[in-house]
């Protein structure tokens, strides 16, 4: 049945909306002709409603004693616990919408939901620890200080379509528990799945603490930024949107940023690598959720001594992956939520073919309206778009190298610096290489594919890949500032 979301959350009220609405479609088709399936509608709010949300968040942050930022720690925790308890009752609905809205497989959709619930509980525990640390006084040069972490203010929170629940909440939850207030606009794909949670937000938090709005970015997010009242822009997505929003703020140099952006994580397969292991991990790293992960392996470097063997086996393994609807058993590849993605991936393939690459796997590049089968491209070079661009989809560029400095130089020149996967077995070779790699990216995955979790580990990047650090531990720090009360020894 269709889900018509006809209200939005501002200042503690689920306000009815009778204005324009936008239809939400799924690329998963219930017919054979790939006609998109209508899932429901969302409000297309205007500037007025966006600014009301903004003012509600500002008021909730600024007004009086005992409200959200100055509320007792245990009371704030109680609000968060109430929310997560209610959220858990919505698992089936949210998981179903994850599958239909973004085409994520059933096991991965369930994992996204459960991981988010765990993340909330872990954040609560981490916050308790932080509060215990806050209780300490210190004395230096005759000055007593009680140093504590306090909130930054009002957060505009925008999450990505590939983890519309988990990564949005990885921003929102730590921001809230630290005492910030928020305006949150759900991702373009994965927007309806927030609907089952609206009442939980409304009944768990004081008014104005969380405001949930819908609409076109330019109509709602831009005026919010232009108001100059946003203290933190928290966004996981692309740098084009982040830069555009940042530039709308009249005093952008005082805006704090918590950003998770593009990456082009390489795999480097050395000649003494365990090839079975390297292939297993590269399959997972390049094709999981069709490559639509910022942590996906987006370029594969293989030593020239083993590249032919790697390519033969890797291409066969890619072709063996099952494509289908997200709820079907054993499905690894699923329809793509962005309608223009198959065309974009096709352009990357055509460009690479024109510049000398071949498609190594038989099914590579086979298309339907809502899908394109991952193409393994070899040999890829720097002139190709697939080398330069973050494909964020099903195409796998492979290069061979003779000298390890070739991939290292490429990484040094790259605009990105999130993670790398390194495959090899001789510790004498690996150790100095790891020392070099950790200065080019923020996480070196030894004999394993790149990933964000476990969520206790820092999630960040160098260069254009990130600003600030997320994780159960780090996010509380990223959304707060150290403040203190000082008194003299007299």
Residue 86 in tokens: 């209610």
63-68 contact pairs (CB < 8 A, 24+):
67/206, 68/179, 68/181, 68/205, 68/206, 68/208, 68/209
Closest contact distance (angstroms) between CB of 476 and ligand G3H is: 18
Closest contact distance (angstroms) between CB of 50 and ligand G3H is: 26
**Orientation angle between helical segments 275-287 and 307-319, nearest 10 degrees:** 50
Site string for ligand G3H, 166-195 (x = CB under 6 A): -x----------------------------
Which of 26-34, 58-66, 161-169, 376-384 is the region at the interface with ligand G3H (rule: CB under 6 A)? 161-169
Sole binder of ligand G3H in the list 162, 290, 334, 370 (CB under 6 A): 162
Between 301 and 459, name the residue whose CB sits nearer to ligand G3H. 459
Count residues near ligand G3H (CB under 6 A).
9
Closest contact distance (angstroms) between CB of 35 and ligand G3H is: 29
Sole binder of ligand G3H in the list 104, 293, 443, 477 (CB under 6 A): 293
- Binding flag, residue 163, ligand G3H (CB under 6 A): yes
3-state class (DSSP) for residue 39: strand
Residue nearest to ligand G3H (CB): 294
Between 451 and 469, name the residue whose CB sits nearer to ligand G3H. 451
- Binding flag, residue 418, ligand G3H (CB under 6 A): no
CA distances from 414 to 262, 316, 352, 436 (A): 11, 30, 19, 15
Residue 479 in tokens: 């959304």
Residue 139 in tokens: 């004395």
- What does the angle CA 402 – CA 406 – CA 411 come to, to the nearest 5 degrees? 145
Q: What is the CA radius of gyration of the chain?
A: 24
Q: How many CB atoms lie within 10 A of CB 330?
A: 9
Non-local (6+) Cβ contacts of 347 within 8 A are 385
Task: Answer yes or no: are the C-beta atoms of 133 and 147 closer than 8 Å.
Answer: no
Closest contact distance (angstroms) between CB of 292 and ligand G3H is: 7
Sole binder of ligand G3H in the list 294, 318, 331, 360 (CB under 6 A): 294
- Binding flag, residue 414, ligand G3H (CB under 6 A): no
Q: Phi, psi at residue 8, to the nearest 5°?
A: -145, 165
Q: Which residues in the 445-464 window bind ligand G3H by CB under 6 A?
A: 451-453
Between 232 and 236, name the residue whose CB sits nearer to ligand G3H. 236
Per DSSP, what are the bridge partners of residue 398?
Answer: 300
Closest contact distance (angstroms) between CB of 137 and ligand G3H is: 38
Closest contact distance (angstroms) between CB of 168 and ligand G3H is: 11
Sole binder of ligand G3H in the list 27, 116, 195, 295 (CB under 6 A): 295
Q: How many CB atoms lie within 10 A of CB 399?
A: 23
Between 163 and 169, name the residue whose CB sits nearer to ligand G3H. 163
Under the rule (CB under 6 A), what is the footprint of ligand G3H? 162-163, 167, 293-295, 451-453
């Amino acid at each position: 049945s269709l889900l018509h979301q006809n209200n939005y959350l501002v200042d503690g009220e689920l306000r009815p909306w009778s204005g324009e609405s936008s239809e939400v479609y799924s690329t998963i088709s219930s017919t054979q002709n790939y006609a998109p399936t209508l899932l429901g509608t969302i409000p297309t709010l205007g500037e007025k409603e966006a600014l009301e949300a903004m003012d509600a968040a500002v008021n909730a942050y600024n007004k009086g004693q005992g409200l959200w930022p100055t509320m007792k720690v245990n009371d704030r925790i109680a609000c968060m616990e109430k929310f997560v308890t209610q959220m858990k009752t919505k698992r089936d609905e949210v998981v179903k919408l994850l599958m239909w809205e973004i085409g994520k497989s059933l096991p991965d959709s369930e994992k996204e939901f459960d991981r988010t619930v765990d993340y909330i509980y872990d954040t609560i525990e981490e916050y308790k620890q932080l509060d215990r640390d806050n209780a300490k006084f210190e004395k230096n040069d005759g000055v007593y200080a009680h140093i504590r972490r306090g909130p930054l203010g009002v957060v505009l929170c925008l999450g990505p379509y590939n983890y519309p629940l988990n990564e949005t909440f990885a921003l929102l939850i730590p921001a809230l528990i630290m005492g910030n207030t928020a305006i949150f606009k759900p991702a373009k794909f994965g927007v309806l799945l927030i609907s089952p949670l609206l009442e939980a937000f409304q009944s768990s938090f004081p008014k104005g603490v969380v405001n949930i709005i819908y609409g076109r970015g330019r109509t709602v997010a831009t005026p919010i930024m232009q108001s100059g009242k946003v203290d933190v822009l928290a966004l996981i997505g692309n740098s084009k949107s982040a830069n555009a929003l940042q530039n709308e703020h009249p005093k952008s140099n005082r805006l704090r940023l918590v950003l998770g952006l593009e990456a082009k994580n390489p795999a480097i397969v050395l000649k003494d690598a365990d090839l079975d292991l390297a292939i297993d991990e590269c399959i997972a790293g390049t094709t999981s959720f069709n490559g639509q992960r910022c942590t996906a392996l987006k370029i594969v470097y293989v030593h020239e001594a083993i590249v032919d063997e790697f390519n033969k086996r890797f291409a066969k393994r890619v072709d063996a992956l099952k494509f289908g609807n997200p709820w079907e058993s054993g499905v690894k590849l699923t329809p793509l939520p962005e309608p223009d993605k198959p065309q974009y991936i096709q352009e990357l393939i055509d460009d690479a073919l024109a510049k000398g690459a071949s498609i190594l796997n038989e099914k590579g590049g086979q298309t339907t309206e809502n899908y394109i089968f991952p193409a393994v491209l070899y040999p890829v070079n720097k002139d190709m778009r697939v080398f330069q661009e973050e494909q964020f989809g099903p195409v796998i560029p492979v290069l061979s190298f003779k000298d390890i400095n070739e991939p290292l130089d490429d990484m040094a020149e790259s605009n990105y610096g999130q993670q790398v996967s390194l495959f090899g077995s001789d510790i004498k070779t690996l150790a100095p290489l790891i020392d070099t790699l950790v200065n080019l990216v923020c996480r070196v995955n030894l004999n394993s594919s790149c990933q964000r979790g476990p969520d206790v580990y820092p999630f960040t990047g160098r260069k254009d890949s990130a600003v600030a650090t997320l994780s159960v531990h780090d996010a509380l720090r990223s959304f707060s500032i150290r403040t203190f009360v000082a008194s003299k020894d007299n």
